[in-house]
Structures are given as structure tokens and as C-alpha cells.
Amino acid sequence: MARGAYIESGGRQYEGNVTAFVLITCFVAAMGGLLFGYDLGITGGVTSMEPFLVKFFPVVYQQMLDDSSTNQYCKFDNQLLTLFTSSLYLAALIASFFAATTSRLFGRKPSMFLGGLFFLVGALLNGFAVNVEMLIIGRIFLGFGVGYCNQSVPIYLSEMAPAKIRGALNIGFQMMITIGILGANLINYATSKYKNGWRVSLGVGAVPAVLLCVGSLFLEETPNSLIERGQHVKAKTMLQKIRGTNNVDEEYQDLVDASEAASKVENPWKNITRRRYRPQLTFCSFIPFFQQLTGINVIMFYAPVLFTILGFGNDASLMSAVITGGVNVIATLVSVFCVDKFGRRLLFLEGGAQMLVSQIKNENSSDDSFAWSWGPLGWLVPSEICSLEVRPAGQAINVAINMFFTFGIAQVFLSLLCHFKFGLFFFFAAWVLVMTIFIAFLLPETKNVPVEEMHYVWKSHWFWNKYMPECEDLVAGAYNNSEAAPSN
Ligand code: BGC
């Protein structure tokens, strides 16, 4: 088969079914997404609750009461209050690098377990907080949880999934993020009526954290990671179990080949900077950067605050966050059903165009187009384009950059809003235009291509092929054991 046709047909197809075992496993793993979503969604509502502000941020509360002293867009402009939201993302950034080493040396499972444990400690510290220090330290623990889970869960899902439904399964992660955000919005809506309701809001995160810790003890390790750590027999049995067939020789052999190529690498961090991995480095860096520059987290973190600024009552503001959260969940379903059928590019381009229009018109609806484009694809694409030898490093870069810009937006947005008011949305619109052009020219389609076969995708791309001179060795090696080697 000609290489172009090989890519178009979605690459090599292995035998195997979508087993219940793999679906349940992925559901448990995606719990990490739920926790991330919960933490994303909870602060916006909590920081608009009066008893919370009175206890921890009396200056902001005073500012709020004293309407005449300040421009209404500046009511919430307080660095300590923003640090409460944003400290989590700095901690996640740092933790993602440690997580990369944990998941490479010990497997994806321990990373997920540790992630759950950090979430648990963070939720308890926050729920029982008696001062600002306890609040911020709790957020830092939650951040470690996010760093560990966001590094390991998307990789875990991509490695467990059969290629033909990898997109949909991986988007389970984003689906859980949006369910977590919605759950947080609903809980805030309910607890805001009680004096110490914020404690419940912050503490309830402990429940899914326990589920993730316990669940991850029962999860199975991915075949890729088992092979990487020399457990070949176990890896083959696992592959048979997750694919529901004994005939996994071809896929197993490709995983072994990929692992052998990976084991020649001495320094995975240096490796990803090599010319041959330029596309992976580029996408693992730019996709998270662009994802945050869509401005999504302005809505996620500050929707209740924005609605308060616009003059809505506290109840209505929290309700608006619930509606935004609900739309977010439903819109994510669109991508679950479309991503493996129509591909990643179409969703990116359609979502980008729609976000551009709604941001220029200053409408809240950029939220739903994000939920089927940059939201899920921001986690899917980086996790599926990296071959084994650069996967933990690539994913850590993705998480770290994502967290850095999430932190940046959380930290400066209220201050920028104070100065630029709603004109700020034109700034995000300009970035959406840039990222849509970036995808149109540089991102090849990756739907249905097995993770360890991605090199063909770069090889046949007009721009990236010039970075792949040495790739022929890899290709020849990868096909030593197969008759199905594609030819030019
Ligand atoms: C992003 C988050 C965002 C969430 C919204 C995720 O993919 O990484 O920053 O808050 O989507 O659903």
C-alpha cells in the first residue's frame, strides 16, 4: 500500500474488540479528570460567597460593599484572592515533571494513585481551613493532584484504547472534566445558602479523590508501560485481555519494537528536543498555550464574578455558572461522537471559527464550541502524537504549559478586566484566529492511526516531512516482523 493511502485508511488495523474491561478501566482512570474539573469549577462560586470573603478576604468584601470607591470592574481585583485560584496551577506545573518520571519508571498506575492522594489531602485542608495559609496550602496539594493525574490519565487512556475509538475514549477525560465543573457549580449553588456552605463546596472533592485512590489500586497497567519496564509476558496477557482476543501478535510486536527503539534513548528530556521530534515538541507546547488563550478559563473561573459585575444577584450568578457548566457537558458529547469519524482537524477548525465569531460578538457561547474542539483535543492530540520514547516528557510539557497559562490567566484576568473591561474579549478573539490558522496549516489528521505508528503521519505531511530524515531506520525496524509494511 502506498504510504499516503496507508495514512488515509487510518494506518494499520489490529484485530480486537472494544471490551467492557477496557471501558470500565478507562472510566476509573478518567476520575482524575473529574477531580481536575471540580477544582476548576469550585473556586469561581466560592469566591463570590460572602461568608467566605468575610472570613478570608475581608478587604475584597469591603471593596464590594463600598460601591462608590471603585470602578465596578475592579471590585474583585485582589492578588491574594487570585492567588487562591491560581496557586493550584503553579503546583500542577511543577508536579507534572515529577509525574513524568514516576509514570516512566513505575508505570501510569502509581501516578494516578498519588494524584488521588494529593487531591484527598488538598480537599481536606481546604474544607477544614481556618486561615488563608491553610487554604493556599490545600490548593497547592490539589495542584499536585492535577499535575500527577493530567500527566498520566490521558496517556493511560490513549494506550489502553484500540486505535479506532481512541479519540472517543480519551475524550472521556474531558467529559469527566466538564462533569466535575458542572458538579462544582451545582454544589456551589446549593451550599451558597448556608453560612459554612463553602466548607462543603471545598471539602466534597475528597469523595472522588477517595474513589480515584481506591479505584487506581484495582486498575491494570497499560501493555505499553509493562513492556517498557520489561514485563513482556504480563504485557501480552494484558493486551489479550483488553482487546478480547488471543490474536494480538501483530500489535504486541509493534509495541515491543516501539519499546526497543525507546530503550535506546538515554535522556527522554533531551530526546524530545531532537530534530526528529520537532512536530511533537511543537504541538505539545503550542496546543496547551493556545487552549488557554481561547480565554475559556475566564468563563470557568470568573463566570459568577462576571455576572455579579453585570448586576445579577448572587443566586442568579451561581445559576448562570450551572447553565454554562451544563452546556459544556452536552457540547463535549458532540466531540465524543465526531472525533473518530470526522477527525481532529475538522473539530479544531469548526470550533475555532465559531469561537471567533462569538467572541467578537461578545457572546458566552464560545463555551460550547470550546467544549467540542480545543477542550478535548487539547488533551487528546498531545497524548496520541508522541511515540513511547518521548511520551512522558511530551505529556509533561503539555501539562506544564497548560498549567502555566491557566495560572497566568487566573492571575491577571481580574486585573486586566479592571483596566480593559469587556474589550478584553477582542484580545482572545485575535488569538483564536492565530491558532485556527496554525492548525489549518500544520496539524495532520491523526484519527484511527495507532499510537506507535504516528511517524507515517509526519512523514507524509508537507511541512513536517523534512524533519524526518532518519525516520526510515525506525520504519524499517518497526516492520521487520510484518508483511504489511507500507511501501512508497
Ligand atoms: C481545560 C481547562 C478548562 C476546561 C473547561 C479543559 O480542557 O484544560 O483549562 O477549564 O477544559 O471545560
CB distance 347 to 372 below 8 Å: yes
Segment among 58-62, 369-373, 435-439 with least mean pLDDT: 58-62
Q: How is residue 15 written as a grid cell?
A: 484485530
CA-nearest residue for atom 10, ligand 1, is: 297
Average pLDDT estimate for 316-321:
80
CA-based nearest residue to 340, from 13, 1, 19: 13
The pLDDT value recorded for residue 263 is 78
Distance CA 313, CA 319 (A): 10
Pocket of ligand 1 (CB under 6 A): 40, 174, 177-178, 181, 291, 296-297, 300, 328, 375, 378-379, 402, 406
The pLDDT value recorded for residue 364 is 61
CA-nearest residue for atom 9, ligand 1, is: 297
The pLDDT value recorded for residue 150 is 92
CA-nearest residue for atom 1, ligand 1, is: 375
H or E element in which residue 276 lies: none
More confident of the two residues 241 and 441: 441
| CA angle (386, 356, 360) in 5-degree steps | 150
Helix runs in 374-470, H state only: 374-385, 391-420, 424-442, 455-459
More confident of the two residues 225 and 1: 225
Neighbours of 450 (CB within 10 A): 21
CB distance 53 to 47 below 8 Å: yes
Distance 155 CA to ligand 1 centre (A): 17
More confident of the two residues 72 and 79: 79
Atom of ligand 1 nearest to the CA of 375: 7
Average pLDDT estimate for 98-109:
91
On the question of pLDDT at 1 being above 50, the answer is: no
Q: How is residue 362 written as a grid cell?
A: 461578545
Write out pLDDT tens, residues 351-384: 999 999 988 886 666 678 999 999 999 999 998 9
Most confident region among 26-30, 261-265, 289-293, 412-416 by mean pLDDT = 289-293
More confident of the two residues 415 and 120: 120
Mutate to test the pocket of ligand 1, among 36, 93, 177 (most ligand atoms within 8 A of CB): 177
Distance 331 CA to ligand 1 centre (A): 13
In the chain the domains, ranked by start, together with CATH numbers, are: 20-465 (1.20.1250.20)
Atom of ligand 1 nearest to the CA of 40: 10
CA-nearest residue for atom 11, ligand 1, is: 375
The pLDDT value recorded for residue 365 is 62
The pLDDT value recorded for residue 262 is 76
Atom of ligand 1 nearest to the CA of 178: 12
pLDDT bucket at 307, cuts 50 / 70 / 90: confident
For the chain, give the mean pLDDT: 85
H or E element in which residue 220 lies: none
Alpha carbon of residue 4 to chain centroid = 30
On the question of pLDDT at 488 being above 60, the answer is: no
Segment among 82-86, 174-178, 264-268, 463-467 with least mean pLDDT: 264-268
Distance CA 168, CA 166 (A): 6
Those residues with Cβ within 8 angstroms of residue 411's Cβ, 6 or more apart along the chain or in another chain? 79, 82, 83, 85, 86
Q: How is residue 45 written as a grid cell?
A: 462560586
% of the chain residues with pLDDT over 90? 47
On the question of pLDDT at 455 being above 50, the answer is: yes
Atom of ligand 1 nearest to the CA of 177: 12
Neighbours of 48 (CB within 10 A): 24
On the question of pLDDT at 78 being above 90, the answer is: no
Distance 145 CA to ligand 1 centre (A): 16
Q: How is residue 42 written as a grid cell?
A: 469550585
The burial class, CB within 10 Å (0-12 / 13-18 / 19+), for 474 is: middle
The pLDDT value recorded for residue 6 is 43
What is the gyration radius of the CA atoms in the chain, in angstroms?
A: 23
Most confident region among 68-82, 254-268, 291-305, 425-439 by mean pLDDT = 425-439
Distance CA 24, CA 348 (A): 28
CA-nearest residue for atom 8, ligand 1, is: 375
Write out pLDDT tens, residues 330-343: 999 999 999 999 99
Distance 297 CA to ligand 1 centre (A): 7
CA-nearest residue for atom 6, ligand 1, is: 375
Strand partners, 487: 2
The pLDDT value recorded for residue 387 is 84
Collapsing DSSP to helix, strand or coil, 487 comes out as: strand
Atom of ligand 1 nearest to the CA of 376: 7
Distance 430 CA to ligand 1 centre (A): 19
Mutate to test the pocket of ligand 1, among 88, 297, 366, 368 (most ligand atoms within 8 A of CB): 297
Q: How is residue 487 written as a grid cell?
A: 511501501
Average pLDDT estimate for 319-333:
89
